[in-house]
Structure 1
Amino acid sequence: MPTLRYLSAFALVTGVIAGCTAETPKPPAAPAVVQPGAPGKPVQVLSSDAVPRADNIPITAADVLFMQGMISHHAQALRMTALVPTHSTNRDISLIAGRIAASQEDEITLMRRWLQDRGQTVPDANHDHSGTGDGELMPGMLTEEQFAELRKANGAEFDRLFVKYMIAHHMGALQMVEKLFNSDGGQETEINIYATHVGADQSIEVDRMQKLLAEMGVTSPK
């Protein structure tokens, strides 16, 4: 049965060759990564190859200035919320002040650690430093005259001023986030996550306070 043996051998060789020349299945595509944009800006969808490794992204001067400035910015917000228990009896004001105080105290701790871990100067969180270093106030910061006005007010007048000034204060923080992303900053992983959080969280709080101010019959500041 030589013919049968030759046919069997031929079939075996043909099968091996076919197996060797068959196209190797491609691995599944890596998932896309959604990168948050600055406040008001659309997100970007990046391929995994286009996403730089976290340990390869250096911090920038803009990152450091943002964190240092935001510590001082938050410190003034805490000075404002500290007045609420003795100047207001409005439950809504107390609730929103409590949320702001709790979140911003935690964020100050986070920002201090971020700066310390990178060997950068950490501002004193017990005192707000309103200036930018060139004699100008950071966006949204109250002047000492405005803060004195708030401190002297009580009841409904305090509530109106507190919400009005805190909206402006939050809007200033959003400007700082936008400036960070529009500069060469905000790319390092931790600061990107934090700045994006600040933008989202304070935008939500601004909306809440604008509704509260409208209930008081006051036009919201822009």
Structure 2
Amino acid sequence: MARPPRLLTLGAALVLTAVLSACTADAETPAPLPSTPVVQLGAPGEPNRTLSPEEAAALGSPEHIEADTVFVRDMLHHHAQAILMTGFVPDRTADEDIRMLAARMDTSQQDEMKQMEKWLQDRGEPVRDPDAAHDAHAGMPGLLTEAELAELEAAEGAEFDTLFLEYMIRHHEGAIAMVHELFEANGGQEPEIGVIARHVEADQEIEIERMKGMLAER
């Protein structure tokens, strides 16, 4: 038996209403906000901050600035001197703790140099600034002078051990100062350079504490 015309019309109306409601909901529903917490790293000495979903959604991906490029080039030079210093160790001391410390530093800093060189290359930046003067790195925090390098190279045994630790602590403190200067210049906002800078800071802080302990033992 055929359905009454009124019932047929009512059924069609209900289907149409459901379809229109679904379309309207789809059109008016805003894009979902990020559900994973996003933490904004604080400047040195300041706490990190968890962004609200609205703040996280509005974030773009910051690009590197000139301060980032200068920091990486300077840190490459800084690391190169540290590797020169660790290169003195095998022939000048029999202290196994010093030798192991130097070997670890040599490996970690060479790895960081490769990462920093790649960072520059990926952004079309020359590894060395072609317009910089020959002594552009003079006065960089923690760097040894030519006379201090010569003094370290000439030392042996216990004298070398003490001098190496004292100079390397100062050298590491200089690298940490460079990280702080980067953030004070509003650098380090690009994600990758921020990770590099904070890794340098954390790694060198750990080694400073280790070297201070070794120095106290002597």
Range class of TM-score, shorter chain: 0.7 to 0.9
Distance 1:50 1:210, change over 3 A: farther
Q: Which runs of 5+ in 1 are unaligned?
A: 1-5, 124-128, 217-222
Q: Work out whether 1:107 is the aligned partner of 2:112.
A: yes
Mapped contact 2:44–2:183 kept (Cα < 8 A)? no
> Normalising to structure 2: TM-score of the pair?
0.78
Residue 67 of structure 1: aligned partner: 72
SS of residue matched to 1:34: strand
When the two structures are aligned, how many residues end up with a matched partner? 205
Listed as ranges, the matches of 1:1-222 within 5 Å are 30=34, 31-46=36-51, 47-53=55-61, 57=63, 59-117=64-122, 118-122=124-128, 131-132=135-136, 136-216=138-218
Distance 1:119 1:151, change over 3 A: same
Mapped contact 2:33–2:57 kept (Cα < 8 A)? no
Mapped contact 1:69–1:132 kept (Cα < 8 A)? no
Deviation at 1:44, TM superposition (A): 2.4
For residues 181 and 163 of structure 2, what CA distance do their matches in structure 1 show? Answer: 27
Aligned-CA RMSD value = 3.0
> Which consecutive segments of 4 or more residues in structure 1 shift more than 6 A?
23-28
Deviation at 1:28, TM superposition (A): 6.9
SS of residue matched to 2:182: helix
> Normalising to structure 1: TM-score of the pair?
0.77
Residues 56-82 of structure 1 show CA distances to partners (whole Å, capped at 9, x for unaligned) of x2x211111101100100000000000
Q: Percent identity?
A: 45
Mapped contact 1:71–1:111 kept (Cα < 8 A)? yes
**Which deviates more, 196-205 or 44-53?**
44-53
Mapped contact 2:67–2:187 kept (Cα < 8 A)? yes
Residues 12-46 of structure 1 show CA distances to partners (whole Å, capped at 9, x for unaligned) of x99x989x99x999987522212333443322222
